[in-house]
Amino acid sequence: MQTLTLANIYELQGLKEEALEIYKEILKKDPNNAEARIAIRRLSGMRRKFLGVNQEMKDFFVHMEEPVEFNEFERWLLKLWN
């Protein structure tokens, strides 16, 4: 059974394509489902924007220990959104 809950679980597990398919099916059955519509927009946008991972920053993030490192990472993230 394809539900919003199952799609949310898939999304949280990183199974974005599977979640997207469920959201699309939900929207076919209920075109007024705002949550499914928003999720489809969110997941579709993620696929276009994030084609790869910045491995250097991922490693930096995983190994951060000092407050100054968290600040540096936050500055880097803010640059991405501007």
pLDDT digits 0-9 by tens, 7-61: 999 988 888 899 999 999 999 999 999 999 989 988 887 545 555 677 888 888 8
pLDDT at 33: 93
pLDDT at 55: 80
pLDDT at 9: 92
pLDDT at 29: 94
Domain boundaries, the chain: 4-49, 52-82
* CA distances in angstroms from 8 to 3, 5, 40, 81, listed in the order given: 9, 5, 12, 24
pLDDT at 27: 93
